[in-house]
Amino acid sequence: MIILKHLTVERFRLLRDIDLHFPQRGSILIQGPNEAGKSTLFECIYFALFGEPLTTNREKRALDDLIMYGESEATVKLTLSVGATELTVTRTIERGNGQRVSLLVRRLGMPESEPITQLRAANERIIAELGRLDGETLRNSCLIEQKGLQRLEQISGREREVALRRLLGLEKLTRLAEQFRLTPEDEEQLRECSARLRLAELQARIPELSAKLGQVEEALDAVTVNEHLAEIEQQEAEIAEQERNLAAIQQKRSELKSRQARVQQLKKAEAILAELITAYDEMAEARRELPELDRQIADLELREREELPALEKRVRELEDLSRSFGTLERMATDLLATVSTIKELEQEVQERTTFEENLEQLEAQISRAQARLEQARLTRSELEERRRAGRPSLEERLRRLRHLASRLEALRQAEERYAQRLAAREQAEQLENRIEEMRRRLREAEQEQARCEQEMRQAEQRVTTYEERWRRQKLARQLEEWLRLRDKLRGVTEAERQVRAAYQQHERCHQEAAAALSVARRLFAFLVIAVVAFVIMASVSFWWALSQLLIPAVIGIVLAAASVAAFIVLFIRYSRARVSVQQALQREQDALNHVRAMVAAREAAARANGGQEALARVEEEIRALGAEVPASPDEARRLIEQAQAERSSSNEQQALAEAREQLATLRAQVAQASEALAALRKQVSDLEEEARSKGWDDIHSKLRSDLVAVEQARHELATLMGQEGLPIPTFEANVFNSPARHAELKAIIDEALKTAELEIAALDGKIDAIAELQEQIKVCEQELESLQARKQVLLGRLERFQTSDPLQQLARAREQQAALREALQQLTDSLRQRVKPLGLQFGQAQVSSAESAARRELEALHITLGRRIELQGRREHYAALLKERQQSLSGYYQQLAKFSTVLGSWIIPPNPFAETLNGLRARCQQELQAASEESILQELEQLQVQEGASRAKIELCRQEIEEIQERIRALLDLRGRPAPQGYQREEIVAVWPLVGEYGVGDRQRLEEERARLEQELQQHEQEELELSQQLGTGGEQLDLEQARRRMEQQERTYQTKKRGSMLIAAVIERLMRKMIPRTEYYMQQILPLLTSGRYHDVQLITEPEEGSASGGPLRWRVWDSAAGEYIPREALSSGAADQISFALRLAFAIAALPRELSAAPGFLLLDEPLSSFDQRRAQAVVEVVTGEMLGQHFEQIFFISHSSAFDPAQFPYYLLIDGGQVVESNLPVVTPPGSLNGNGSGSRPSPEEGPEASSEATSVVA
């Protein structure tokens, strides 16, 4: 049980100096006025335990706020017992530097351990010693804060359950649940075992599927032979049918050839008649056009001689007039510019006169401004000279007086420092003696530790020697096992190598077969293209020959012949490629059979050995022993022989065990010596740090230096005061730090300082007049600068007038104006005389319009005359055409006479009239239409295509028969059957009886079975490959039975963790659910006592909350006999509701006590729970606190109240706090040994002796 024993507080918030020793059992009343530090007492306990402020709300308070105002540090020291363990926690807060901690743990019957000074480690150790009881859990249970009665009703269910688990000591059960919790590693191990089992099953199933697949493939090959035989019969029937079709095609072609020859003669005759009609038409047109063209050419020559010269002359005259009018316009523009220039010059003359008058006025103003500026500067110089003459001496005297005041203050500080060192000299000597004693003990402890460490190193060397011998013997046993397993696995390795070689050979054969098949397919495509090209070129050449197009026909025949040659070459290459394909397929099948045989051999070897995993385990154990796996068996045998040479006996093993026990004992001694040495060093460093911090490390030399500094300061002060004309002070030799004497000297110096400051202030009063003069000077300077700038502007303008005189320019401009007017008048008169002969009005617009019209007439005439060349060309064309057509008529009639032998005499025209010629042409067209040459060509082309297709089909059928026979021969060779005498069905059945057992109808069934087996085998192989890569087995053959046993073991482990985790969760959930009824039970016992029998029955209600087994925040309803029902909190007054909430807090604190644990809280802290209670119910609370109800559950009950209505006699112990100190107390007192009186008993001071006496009486010796 956790019991508070001793609390010491210095300068913590409102508490100045508190030293309390708490009783082992009983209730303690803590009283005092507001802000006396009562609640701060609980905050001290909380801070000492958890290292953080106790905040009533959720804001974060800084540690510096816990230090008393005006102080630099605060210290809290708390001693408490947890069962047989005593903890002493000391926390110190330095302003601006955070906190320091020292934790000392003492266990009954155990040596004292070294203090823990690391903040984080100390906090974790305290919480661990308190049974994982943290600050939030304490506030939710046995710390009832001021205005925190409703805390349990405000926190969530999850936070309440966290506090309960820590109070009940369920953290170990929670950690056990964490151990049983299923982790991703467990899931991964289960999946790995399942995958290994599946891999083993797949490795056993794949050979069976391979054998079945081979049988089905052999049956399919027999069905394929039957299909090939049926296909040969079909191809032979097709060849006979195609030969009959070829005979019919030859007969029909001869008929179409004769029809095609007559059509060609008709087409040529129709073309000649069309040309003859065209010649007669063109001759008639030429005879009509020649006279008209001669007339138009004569008219154009007449107009060129008469109209063209007159128009050209008029255009030239109008162009000269236009240029003259342009000159007239430019002269008028120049005259207007001259007039505007004259006006501008007249304005410049007026501006010049004005500028000269303004310049004279500005010079007068500048003279007056300069005079005012000189007067102001003279006055300012006189004032500054008077100020510079008196101020430096006054400022120097003021500086000396201030230095004198600082030296007086330095004298006072030096005397105070010397007096303080005199007072602390005795304590410093005592501390120095303690430091020497601790140093002596430290040297002895260091010698003892060095001796223990030397013995421990010797023991470690002996243990290392024995362990090295034992490791070599164990390594020899593992090497023997490694040699045995390596010999067994040698056959498996060789089988694996052969399998890899077989796979590589099969892959090469497969690639060769694929390449040969690709070449054969490409050659077959070229064969088809050559056949089609031959058919097309032969048809086209035949059509061109019928059309008497000899050159294209010869080219087509050559291309057809080339197609035949290409077909022959490609057919030879295709036959060779087919042979290569058959050979490549045979090699691929042989390689596949070899792969299957090698895989079967590997599986057999793996099943026979099964030691790869054992070898890996042995190699891992060899590495774990700190050795490398031998590179060869010879090296392993050499290591075994070396180990056998140093076989260890049972005596050496017993010596190893004894050496280990001795080493453990020595290590414990060294650890104890190290802890003791560290504690001594800590004490020495603390004492030295204390001496340094208080300045006691060299106090005698410091006293001498302080005395010298006091004497020097007195002499310097007397000298300075004499220099300033002040009274020279006298000092007594043995009197230091005299306040009256210092005050007198300070008053003299202050009076002199005031006098000097007044004199300086009188001089500084004249600065205002200087500032006014400075402002006047500035204004005058600005005004003078403005006048100078205006003057410069006017001078610049006048300089421009001096360089160019406006009067002279004005005279020249007027002369130029008169000359322009005279020239303009003369030009106007000349133009009027030139316009009159042309019949135009005077004006530039009329002349420009007339010029444009004349130019348009001239351009139109030139265009008309340009058509003469065109007309002459047309005349020459028609004359040549007439002559050419007359010469070609005889040739046309001769050609028609030749066609009359084939077509008849009707083709020759009896006369050259158009009607006769058109009639003959129409008759030719009718006969051509009736003969339908296109249909004849189409029929010939179709016949040619049909013939080529039939011949190609016959050839392909024969070739296909050969290929089928070749495939049958390859299948027989593949299955190891002899070659047949022929390729009839009976002959094939004679050499392979399986062909007679299966028919063509069995293919679908066998292919479905093969596809099913292949798919299943492929899926198994793919799954095996994925599982092998996933598990990293590297093709290792797994043992099915071993994998199944491992899977069952892993499944049992998985289910054990799963059900264990569920069981622990159910136990914790059951405990959490039981807490609410237990709290309700204790609440029903406490409530009548608190309410003086007003309320008895109460119900606790929670709403469901996610993540909480006992529900959400607590809600209560109390039975009201007057209402006859349970009423909620909202129906009660605030005082009654606070009573019930107080009862809930007490009941929860009792229900959550873990009575079986030693770390259960044995104290209850009540911080002013009576704020809203009346006198009667407050008395009831006191009875509950001091009665057996709480006393049987809590050893210590702390009750804070600011009310003075309670009689301290009602409590076994009481404590009165005021002003941050203990005023009155009846707590147990443990007095230091030095304060005992003559008869050995301590005396207790009375309250009238003041806070110092009370603090001294309540001090406790640790």
How does pLDDT run across 504-553, given as a tens digit for each residue?
A: 787 788 788 888 888 888 888 888 888 888 888 888 887 777 777 778 77
Query: What DSSP letter does each residue of 332-372 carry, written as one string?
Result: HHHHHHHHHHHHHHHHHHHHHHHHHHHHHHHHHHHHHHHHH
For residue 689, tell me if it sits in a domain: no
Name the nearest CA neighbour of 558 among 526, 533, 529, 528: 533
Mean pLDDT, range 1117-1138, rounded to an integer: 82
- Which range, 693-697, 963-967, 1030-1034, 1252-1256, has the best average confidence (pLDDT)? 963-967
Give me Rg for the CA atoms of the chain.
66
Predicted local confidence at residue 1159, as pLDDT: 62
Residues 6+ apart with CB under 8 A from 339: 817
Mean pLDDT, range 1122-1137, rounded to an integer: 82
Please say whether the beta carbons of 977 and 992 come within 8 A: yes
Is a pLDDT exceeding 60 seen at residue 1236? no
- Residue 512 token pair: 């060769």
How many independent structural domains does the chain possess? Answer: 2
Predicted local confidence at residue 611, as pLDDT: 55
Is a pLDDT exceeding 50 seen at residue 1134? yes
CA 469, CA 642: separation in Å to the nearest integer?
Answer: 11
Helix (H, G, I), strand (E, B) or coil at 1214: strand
Is a pLDDT exceeding 80 seen at residue 569? yes
In the chain, what is the greatest distance between 2 CA atoms, to the nearest angstrom?
185
Backbone angles phi, psi at 687, to 5 degrees: -65, -45
- The number of residues making up the chain comes to 1262
Whether 95 and 214 map to the same domain: the answer is no
Eight-class DSSP state of 68: P
3-state DSSP percent of the chain in helix, strand and coil, to 5: 75, 10, 20
For residue 4, tell me if it sits in a domain: yes
Q: Give the residue, 604 or 921, on which the prediction is more confident.
A: 921
Is a pLDDT exceeding 50 seen at residue 836? yes
How confident is the model over 573-626, as pLDDT tens digits?
888 888 888 888 888 788 777 777 777 666 666 554 555 666 777 777 777 767
Whether 126 and 15 map to the same domain: the answer is yes
Look up the pTM and report it: 0.38
For residue 1254, tell me if it sits in a domain: yes
Mean pLDDT, range 885-897, rounded to an integer: 77
Mean pLDDT, range 1032-1060, rounded to an integer: 78
Q: Give the residue, 862 or 1155, on which the prediction is more confident.
A: 862
Whether 4 and 127 map to the same domain: the answer is yes
How confident is the model over 29-41, as pLDDT tens digits?
888 887 788 888 8
* Mean pLDDT, all residues of the chain: 77
Predicted local confidence at residue 102, as pLDDT: 93
Mean pLDDT, range 302-310, rounded to an integer: 77
Whether 124 and 192 map to the same domain: the answer is no
Eight-class DSSP state of 1161: B
Mean pLDDT, range 307-336, rounded to an integer: 78
CA 1194, CA 1184: separation in Å to the nearest integer?
Answer: 12
Classify each residue of 944-967 as buried b or exposed e, where b means 16 or more C-beta atoms within 10 Å of its C-beta.
bbbbbbbbbbbbbbebbbebbbbb
- Position 1007 confidence tier, pLDDT thresholds 50, 70, 90: confident
- Position 74 confidence tier, pLDDT thresholds 50, 70, 90: very high
CA 678, CA 890: separation in Å to the nearest integer?
Answer: 146
Whether 205 and 80 map to the same domain: the answer is no
Residues 6+ apart with CB under 8 A from 487: none
Is a pLDDT exceeding 90 seen at residue 24? no
Name the nearest CA neighbour of 496 among 358, 599, 384, 390: 599
- Position 1239 confidence tier, pLDDT thresholds 50, 70, 90: very low
User: Which residue type, as a one-letter code, is found at position 1173?
Assistant: F
- Position 79 confidence tier, pLDDT thresholds 50, 70, 90: very high
Looking at 1036-1122, which runs of residues are DSSP E strands?
Answer: 1098-1101, 1115-1120
How confident is the model over 450-496, as pLDDT tens digits?
888 888 888 878 777 777 777 777 777 777 777 777 766 666 666 77
How confident is the model over 791-809, as pLDDT tens digits?
777 777 667 666 667 777 7
Mean pLDDT, range 661-689, rounded to an integer: 80
- Residue 151 token pair: 């805390």
For residue 326, tell me if it sits in a domain: no
Whether 125 and 195 map to the same domain: the answer is no
Predicted local confidence at residue 1246, as pLDDT: 36
Is a pLDDT exceeding 80 seen at residue 964? yes
Name the nearest CA neighbour of 224 among 982, 1015, 998: 998
For residue 999, tell me if it sits in a domain: no
- Position 733 confidence tier, pLDDT thresholds 50, 70, 90: low
Mean pLDDT, range 626-631, rounded to an integer: 74
Please say whether the beta carbons of 28 and 1197 come within 8 A: yes
Whether 49 and 124 map to the same domain: the answer is yes
Whether 14 and 111 map to the same domain: the answer is yes
Q: At what angle do helices 914-931 and 184-306 cross, to 10 degrees?
A: 170
Whether 125 and 32 map to the same domain: the answer is yes
**End residue of a domain, out of 951, 976, 992:** 992
* Burial classification of residue 205, based on how many CB atoms lie within 10 Å of its CB (0-12 exposed, 13-18 middle, 19 or more buried): middle
Residue 91: beta bridge partners? Answer: 76, 101
Predicted local confidence at residue 801, as pLDDT: 65
Mean pLDDT, range 882-889, rounded to an integer: 79
Backbone angles phi, psi at 1201, to 5 degrees: -150, 135
Whether 120 and 202 map to the same domain: the answer is no
- Position 44 confidence tier, pLDDT thresholds 50, 70, 90: very high
Predicted local confidence at residue 10, as pLDDT: 92
Whether 7 and 82 map to the same domain: the answer is yes
CA 404, CA 225: separation in Å to the nearest integer?
Answer: 134
Looking at 111-157, which runs of residues are DSSP E strands?
Answer: 143-144
Name the nearest CA neighbour of 100 among 71, 121, 69: 121
Mean pLDDT, range 833-851, rounded to an integer: 75
CA 879, CA 282: separation in Å to the nearest integer?
Answer: 11
Is a pLDDT exceeding 60 seen at residue 1248? no
Q: Which residue range is the domain that position 65 belongs to? A: 1-131+1165-1175+1188-1262
User: Which residue type, as a one-letter code, is found at position 451?
Assistant: R
Mean pLDDT, range 80-91, rounded to an integer: 89
For residue 552, tell me if it sits in a domain: no
CA 1001, CA 1005: separation in Å to the nearest integer?
Answer: 8
Please say whether the beta carbons of 18 and 1257 come within 8 A: no
Predicted local confidence at residue 815, as pLDDT: 82
For residue 284, tell me if it sits in a domain: yes
Predicted local confidence at residue 148, as pLDDT: 76
* Burial classification of residue 578, based on how many CB atoms lie within 10 Å of its CB (0-12 exposed, 13-18 middle, 19 or more buried): buried
Q: Which of 383-397, 650-664, 1104-1118, 1241-1255 has the lowest mean pLDDT?
A: 1241-1255
Mean pLDDT, range 182-201, rounded to an integer: 79
Whether 297 and 192 map to the same domain: the answer is yes
- Position 90 confidence tier, pLDDT thresholds 50, 70, 90: very high
Q: Which of 69-78, 94-103, 626-635, 1075-1084 has the lowest mean pLDDT?
A: 626-635
Query: Which CATH number does the domain housing residue 12 bear?
Result: 3.40.50.300
CA 446, CA 453: separation in Å to the nearest integer?
Answer: 10
User: Which residue type, as a one-letter code, is found at position 171?
Assistant: E
∠ at Cα 1161 (1156, 1164), nearest 5°? 135
- Position 645 confidence tier, pLDDT thresholds 50, 70, 90: low
For residue 939, tell me if it sits in a domain: no
Q: Which of 392-401, 996-1005, 1208-1217 has the lowest mean pLDDT?
A: 392-401
Q: In what order do the strands lie in the sheet with 2-12?
A: 15-21, 2-12, 73-82, 85-94, 98-107
Q: Give the residue, 178 or 970, on which the prediction is more confident.
A: 970
Predicted local confidence at residue 492, as pLDDT: 64
Q: Specify the residue for token string 């322009």.
A: 820
Q: What percent of the chain has pLDDT over 70?
A: 87
**End residue of a domain, out of 992, 1010, 1030:** 992
